[in-house]
Amino acid sequence: MTQKNLGKNIQTRVKNYIQYIIESRALYKPDEEEFLELLSQGLKDEIVSEVNGKIIATSAIFSTNFSQRASLNLAKFMKETFLAPEEILFNVSFPCLVYHSY
């Protein structure tokens, strides 16, 4: 990063992000992902839908504004994302719906 002449602010943010990801991954169990790879696509889809469906069901924004059917369909498309503390989730200059559930 120094060779590319990046500013100190971005260098610090990148270093903090990498440190956060490494610490987060230490808590993450890679065996779960390996286990899912052994299953058929149908079983994987059922597991993902059920796990994500439970997350959506506990979220007031989804349970009050969407039908159960819509929520179940949405659960199929949810993806896990690792975010660093203070990372921008929504940028006003680029308006779009961004929702992260923790």
d(CA 9, CA 7): 5
Q: How far is the C-alpha of 18 from the C-alpha of 68, rounded, in Å? A: 37
- pLDDT reading at 83 higher than 70: yes
Long-range CB contact pairs, 8-14, < 8 A, 24+:
13/84
Q: What is the pLDDT of residues 40-59, one digit of tens each?
A: 888 888 888 888 888 888 88
How does DSSP assign 51-84, residue by residue? Answer: HHHHHHHT-HHHHHHS-HHHHHHHHTT-------
Q: What Å distances lie between residue 3 and 10, 11, 19, CA to CA?
A: 13, 11, 20
Is the separation of the CB atoms in 89 and 100 below 8 Å? Answer: yes
Do residues 22 and 15 touch, judged by C-beta distance below 8 A? no
Q: Which pLDDT belongs to residue 55?
A: 86
- Cα 47–53–54 angle (5° rounding)? 100
Q: What is the pTM of this model?
A: 0.51
